[in-house]
Amino acid sequence: MALLSSDEQNETAVTMDSMVAGVHFLPDDPPDLVARKLVRVNLSDLAAKGAKPFAVMLAAAFPVGTELAWIRRFADGLGEDLAYFDVALIGGDTVSTPGPLTLSLTAFGRIAKGRTVLRSGAHPGDRIWLSGTLGDGALGLMAARGQLGDLGDGHIAFLADRYRLPRPRVSLGAALPGVASAGMDVSDGLVQDLGHICRASGVAATVEAATVPLSAAAQAALAADHSLLATILTGGDDYELLFTAPAAATPAIEEWGRRVGEAVTAIGVITEGQGVTVRDQVGHPISLGQGGWRHFSASGKGAEA
Amino acid sequence: MALLSSDEQNETAVTMDSMVAGVHFLPDDPPDLVARKLVRVNLSDLAAKGAKPFAVMLAAAFPVGTELAWIRRFADGLGEDLAYFDVALIGGDTVSTPGPLTLSLTAFGRIAKGRTVLRSGAHPGDRIWLSGTLGDGALGLMAARGQLGDLGDGHIAFLADRYRLPRPRVSLGAALPGVASAGMDVSDGLVQDLGHICRASGVAATVEAATVPLSAAAQAALAADHSLLATILTGGDDYELLFTAPAAATPAIEEWGRRVGEAVTAIGVITEGQGVTVRDQVGHPISLGQGGWRHFSASGKGAEA
């Protein structure tokens, strides 16, 4: 059991995410990276709400017969990331399981009262912003599985690393309260998660595909196979910040990104209506079905269903 | 993500417990009882600290192919207990697993600042108190597995029910701050958990076995097989409150027990020294090994190792 102190000025944001071996990470992923991914996935969620992470609790179900050396490396990775992000492990539970390694982390963040960035505050005219680059996580899973073909080892290693080790945008997230009108982190894919914001806010979104920031590795993958655009836009595992803000906030957002050294890019606008539209370079809507995403055609050019 | 409001007067106590099918409950246990046990195990922990439960988050990994009807019954049991204990479900995560059902609950309780009942406050001269009756959980597991022999159906059903559905002493727990010097709930067995309090407090404990409260069913089981005393004292799964308090608090504790209608029994005293001693009716120490418990001999009469 742990105690969270409290005061009149702040609230505590809490999030809880689970990972199962073979479902959310590869069973032979290095143990230290498994632990660090677990931490980072949860910190990403807090960052997107504008909360500063300060503590976690870990529930771990280790398979019967897990070697002590494995658990040590797991604990080392956990400790390393907790130290890096200045977050305390305040409790949890460890059990054994006849099944696969199953992890749940509860993460706590501090935020000034009433300043939490919700999904429901986006307004027509707001710009849509994305941190970092998109698609590296989903392409990285393909890379780790040997499904990406020959992009050169540097790109493959970059993408696989991005799948195994998300970069939660904690510093960027700290600037969101008072600036962002709505936000969340991209875990299920840009289109799906932007759809969540639109539904919660009662608005529509238009994304310009050409402005979506891509890593050099993702660009190389896309050049080799244009149908991967669908993977990039909907594949998930990005753990980037997705938020909306009034146009007037643009200089402040760009300045903050420069200050913390993290890329942040305007990728579209909020409009009246409902649903998410992704447009190609000539302004044609591409591949959005009613209520969700339809897989791109092989040409990378789809149509609204 | 959820927000915990805060103020200057209170702290938030947090606890996290996991349960795995086949390890912490029987795979064919009724789904509603599985959910309710998960809730109650966590609320018991909060109650033992003197905290009033107000919210939970649930991480559930359901086996691939779990039937919707099963999940519905699980959700019904969860909702029923949350309503009964006036606790809100504020978030969590649901994933699928190729392994057994794996559940983690994070539970939140409110407690006045600085009033949390810790393990470390027991003093020589304090009385040791136990709520309810001991051993029903451990005997109930044996009963559910058909390992108890013929006690009559009423007793078997009573014990199996106590294994499947703990009774967290939430009302009793609310009275502990300011009264109890130390406390925890009994989940690993009386002797082990009292040992935790002794180590944390730097004291020893003497328990009079004859004063340990037993249900009629446990008394019947013990009469049929005296070696079950070891199961009762060390078997765990009790989820009763174990706490210490100065002798002067005795009338207040007994009065509170009567008021909330929950049994609470003095079972021994805290002394100087270290370790837990359980004494039989003639004052002889029984069956405590160094640093922990040794299994009783078949006669039910052991010796200090």
Q: Which residues are bridge partners to B244 per DSSP?
A: B128, B182
Across the interface, do A6 and B2 touch by the CB < 8 Å criterion? Answer: no
Strands A102-112 and A182-186: unpaired
Residue A291's pLDDT is: 35
Q: Has residue A162 got a pLDDT over 60?
A: yes
CA distance A10 to A8: 6
Looking at the structure, tell me whether residues B86 and B172 fall in a common domain.
no
Angle between helix axes B136-144 and B153-164 (nearest 10 degrees) is: 110
- Min Cα distance A119 → chain B (Å) is 11
Looking at the structure, tell me whether residues B206 and B131 fall in a common domain.
yes
Across the interface, do B99 and A104 touch by the CB < 8 Å criterion? Answer: no
Looking at the structure, tell me whether residues A148 and A272 fall in a common domain.
yes
Residue A3's pLDDT is: 78
Q: What is the CATH number of the domain that holds A241?
A: 3.90.650.10
Is residue A292 within a helix (H) or strand (E), and if so which, with residue range?
strand A292-293
The answer to whether the Cα torsion of B21, B24, B26, B30 is positive or negative is: negative
Residue B119 lies in a domain: no
Residue A5 lies in a domain: no
Residue A305's pLDDT is: 26
Nearest CB among B11, B95, B97 relative to A5 is that of B11
- Min Cα distance B50 → chain A (Å) is 12
At B4, is the secondary structure helix, strand, or coil? strand
Which DSSP symbol is given to A290? T
**CA B289 to chain centroid:** 23
Which DSSP symbol is given to B249? G
Asked whether the beta carbons of B98 and A23 are under 8 A apart, the reply is: yes
Q: Has residue A267 got a pLDDT over 70?
A: yes
Asked whether the beta carbons of B36 and B56 are under 8 A apart, the reply is: no
Q: Which residue of A has its CA nearest to B55?
A: A14
CA distance A56 to A91: 7
Q: For A68-91, what is the mean pLDDT?
A: 97
Looking at the structure, tell me whether residues B142 and B287 fall in a common domain.
yes
Chain B residues touching residue A102 (CB < 8 angstroms): 20, 61, 97, 99, 102
**CA A85 to chain centroid:** 17
Across the interface, do A102 and B98 touch by the CB < 8 Å criterion? Answer: no
Nearest CB among B18, B92, B93 relative to A61 is that of B18
Across the interface, do B6 and A12 touch by the CB < 8 Å criterion? Answer: yes
Instruction: Point out the domain boundary residue: A83, A112, A141.
Output: A112
- How many other C-beta atoms can be found within 10 angstroms of the C-beta atom of residue B5? 11
Angstrom CA distances, A262 to A47, A118, A189, A259, B274, stand at 13, 22, 20, 8, 56
Is residue B230 within a helix (H) or strand (E), and if so which, with residue range?
helix B228-234
Nearest CB among A4, A15, A93 relative to B11 is that of A4
Chain A residues touching residue B46 (CB < 8 angstroms): 1
Task: Say if residue A248 is exposed, middle or buried (CB neighbours under 10 Å; 0-12, 13-18, 19+).
Answer: exposed
Asked whether the beta carbons of B13 and B114 are under 8 A apart, the reply is: no
* Closest C-alpha among A272, A280, A304 to residue A291: A304
Looking at the structure, tell me whether residues A83 and A167 fall in a common domain.
no
Across the interface, do B4 and A4 touch by the CB < 8 Å criterion? Answer: yes
- Please report the number of interchain residue pairs, chain A to chain B, with beta-carbon separation below 8 angstroms: 160
Residue B297's pLDDT is: 28
Residue B259 lies in a domain: yes
Looking at the structure, tell me whether residues A214 and A131 fall in a common domain.
yes
Instruction: Point out the domain boundary residue: B82, B112, B142.
Output: B112
Which site among B16, B105, B117 would you substitute to test the A interface, given the most A Cβ atoms closer than 10 Å to its Cβ? Answer: B16
CA distance B120 to B258: 27
Q: What is the CATH number of the domain that holds A80?
A: 3.30.1330.10
Looking at the structure, tell me whether residues A134 and A96 fall in a common domain.
no
Looking at the structure, tell me whether residues A275 and A141 fall in a common domain.
yes
CA distance A193 to A199: 10
Phi, psi of B191 (to 5 degrees): -65, -45
Chain B residues touching residue A16 (CB < 8 angstroms): 57-59, 91-93, 104, 106
Across the interface, do A90 and B14 touch by the CB < 8 Å criterion? Answer: yes
Chain A residues touching residue B88 (CB < 8 angstroms): none
- Min Cα distance B61 → chain A (Å) is 8
Residue B4 lies in a domain: no
- How many other C-beta atoms can be found within 10 angstroms of the C-beta atom of residue B38? 26
Q: Which residue of B has its CA nearest to A21?
A: B97
Helices (H), chain A: 31-48, 68-84, 136-144, 153-164, 170-173, 190-201, 216-224, 228-234, 250-260
Looking at the structure, tell me whether residues A199 and A266 fall in a common domain.
yes
Which amino acid, one-letter code, is at A211?
A: T
Looking at the structure, tell me whether residues A85 and A194 fall in a common domain.
no
Task: Say if residue A154 is exposed, middle or buried (CB neighbours under 10 Å; 0-12, 13-18, 19+).
Answer: exposed
- How many other C-beta atoms can be found within 10 angstroms of the C-beta atom of residue B300? 16
- Min Cα distance B109 → chain A (Å) is 9
Across the interface, do A3 and B18 touch by the CB < 8 Å criterion? Answer: no
Q: What is the ipTM of this complex?
A: 0.85
- Min Cα distance A136 → chain B (Å) is 23
At A233, is the secondary structure helix, strand, or coil? helix
Residue A287's pLDDT is: 64
Across the interface, do B20 and A97 touch by the CB < 8 Å criterion? Answer: yes
Residue A46 lies in a domain: yes
Across the interface, do B14 and A91 touch by the CB < 8 Å criterion? Answer: yes
Across the interface, do B8 and A4 touch by the CB < 8 Å criterion? Answer: no
If one counts the domains in chain B, the total is 2
Instruction: Point out the domain boundary residue: A57, A89, A112.
Output: A112
Residues 6+ apart with CB under 8 A from B2: A13, A14, A15, B55, B57, B90, B91
Q: Which own/partner contact pairs does B191-197 have at CB distance under 8 Å and 24+ positions apart?
A: B191/B233, B191/B234, B191/B276, B191/B278, B191/B288, B191/B292, B191/B293, B192/B234, B192/B236, B192/B292, B192/B293, B193/B242, B194/B128, B194/B242, B194/B276, B195/B275, B195/B276, B195/B292, B196/B119, B197/B119, B197/B122, B197/B242, B197/B244
Strands A204-208 and A102-112: unpaired
Across the interface, do A18 and B59 touch by the CB < 8 Å criterion? Answer: yes
Which amino acid, one-letter code, is at A287?
A: S
Looking at the structure, tell me whether residues B69 and B187 fall in a common domain.
no
Quote the tokens at residue A242.
């997705």
Across the interface, do B61 and A102 touch by the CB < 8 Å criterion? Answer: yes
At B272, is the secondary structure helix, strand, or coil? coil
Domain that holds residue B77: 10-112
Nearest CB among B16, B49, B96 relative to A93 is that of B16
Asked whether the beta carbons of A277 and A206 are under 8 A apart, the reply is: yes
Nearest CB among A6, A23, A57 relative to B106 is that of A57
Residue B120 lies in a domain: no
Residue B137 lies in a domain: yes
Q: Which residue of B has its CA nearest to A97?
A: B20
Q: Which residue has the higher pLDDT, A269 or B10?
A: A269
Residues 6+ apart with CB under 8 A from A251: none
Quote the tokens at residue B181.
């010097």
Phi, psi of A183 (to 5 degrees): -175, 165
CA distance A98 to A100: 7
Q: Has residue A5 got a pLDDT over 80?
A: no
CA distance B221 to A221: 69
Nearest CB among B3, B6, B16 relative to A91 is that of B16
Residue A281's pLDDT is: 87
Q: Which residue has the higher pLDDT, A153 or A283?
A: A283
Across the interface, do A98 and B99 touch by the CB < 8 Å criterion? Answer: yes
Asked whether the beta carbons of A181 and A123 are under 8 A apart, the reply is: yes
Quote the tokens at residue A140.
């990285």
CA distance B204 to B111: 28
Which amino acid, one-letter code, is at A27?
A: P
Quote the tokens at residue B119.
């393990």
Looking at the structure, tell me whether residues B228 and B150 fall in a common domain.
yes
Mean pLDDT score across all residues of chain A: 90
Q: Which residue of B has its CA nearest to A49?
A: B1
Q: What is the dihedral of CA B155, B159, B160, B164, to 10 degrees?
A: 150
Q: Which residue of B has its CA nearest to A100?
A: B99
What pTM value is reported for the model?
0.87
pLDDT (tens digit per residue) in A19-71:
999 999 988 899 999 999 999 999 999 999 999 999 999 999 999 999 999 99
At B211, is the secondary structure helix, strand, or coil? helix
Residue A122 lies in a domain: no
CA distance A297 to B300: 75
Asked whether the beta carbons of B172 and B180 are under 8 A apart, the reply is: no
Residue A117's pLDDT is: 94
State in Å, rounded, how far the first CA of chain A is from the last one.
52
Per-position pLDDT tens, chain B of length 305: 677 876 788 899 999 999 999 999 988 899 999 999 999 999 999 999 999 999 999 999 999 999 999 999 999 999 999 999 999 999 999 999 999 999 999 999 999 988 999 999 999 999 999 999 999 999 999 999 999 988 887 999 999 999 999 999 999 999 999 999 999 999 999 999 999 999 999 999 999 999 999 999 999 999 999 889 989 999 889 999 999 999 999 999 999 999 999 999 999 999 999 999 999 888 898 864 433 343 332 233 332 22
Quote the tokens at residue B30.
């009724």
- Min Cα distance B298 → chain A (Å) is 30
Q: Which residue has the higher pLDDT, A228 or B5?
A: A228
Asked whether the beta carbons of A22 and B11 are under 8 A apart, the reply is: no
- Min Cα distance A57 → chain B (Å) is 7
- Min Cα distance A283 → chain B (Å) is 36
State in Å, rounded, how far the first CA of chain B is from the last one.
51
Task: Say if residue A266 is exposed, middle or buried (CB neighbours under 10 Å; 0-12, 13-18, 19+).
Answer: middle
Which amino acid, one-letter code, is at B171?
A: S
